[in-house]
Structure 1
Amino acid sequence: MNKRQLKKSVNYICSELFAEGVAASLYSQSANRDNTNALLASVINIQNDFVRRISHPEPGMKAKVFYNQLIKDFNNTVSEVIDQIAHLQ
């Protein structure tokens, strides 16, 4: 996977997470507005952070190692956000 494809994947996944967060807040009567806003802001920050990290890899680190770690970090972060969305409902 090249940088462009990786950025597209990050953008797509983050947009889906954002949409899920909005849907969960709209369809849940018990969703706290402040928690929902914080969650949506964190999704935007995650997207910006990972796209920035894709564009500027760590100097001195092998590219393959860097991108494998980046993908692992992104997957862990997405899992945490999914858990937070599930607890909004």
Structure 2
Amino acid sequence: MAKRRNLKKFIKYTSGSITGFILWEISRAKEEKRPAYDQLLANIIDLHNDMVSRISHTEPGNVKGFYKKLKSDFSEGINAILTQTDELADKEQA
């Protein structure tokens, strides 16, 4: 049980950090890019909620494979969001 709690805390911390980064980018972004950043915030919230609900309802049987798949899905989701954030970022301000 403690391992699941630690995994949920890790997901919460990572999601919060990415959210803070996106909010910082929103403050620097031009007005026409803000709806795209809002969509990224919605994506990180959806990813967080999906991961936490998956942890809460672990598949019986192949537990090790379940958590390996969960971690890879979370990593892919975070990488996709960071890639989209990088594409939206103004190169002039960097």
TM exceeding 0.5: yes
Q: Distance in 1 between matches of 2:32 and 2:77?
A: 21
Q: Which amino acid aligns with 1:34?
A: P
Q: Which amino acid aligns with 1:68?
A: K
Tell me, yes or no, if the aligned pair for 1:25 and 1:88 is still in contact at 8 Å: no
Q: Which amino acid aligns with 2:86?
A: A
Correspondence for 1:62: 62
Q: Distance in 2 between matches of 1:12 and 1:35?
A: 23
Correspondence for 1:21: 22
Q: Distance in 2 between matches of 1:67 and 1:26?
A: 36
- The percent identity for this pair of structures is 31
Correspondence for 1:87: 87
Q: Distance in 2 between matches of 1:87 and 1:31?
A: 14
RMSD after superposition:
1.6
Q: Select between 29-38 and 45-54 the one with higher mean Cα deviation.
A: 29-38
Correspondence for 1:78: 78
Pair 1:35–1:5, CA change in 2 (3 A): same
Deviating above 3 A after TM superposition, structure 1's stretches of 4 or more consecutive aligned residues are none
Tell me, yes or no, if the aligned pair for 1:25 and 1:31 is still in contact at 8 Å: no
Shift of 1:88: 1.8
Residue by residue, what CA displacement relative to the aligned partner does 1:21-45 show, whole Å, maximum 9, x if unpaired?
1111111336612111111011111
Mind listing any 5+ residue stretches in structure 1 that lack a counterpart?
none
Mind listing any 5+ residue stretches in structure 2 that lack a counterpart?
90-94
The alignment's TM-score, normalised by the length of structure 2, stands at 0.85
Correspondence for 1:38: 39
Q: 3-state DSSP class of the match of 1:58?
A: coil
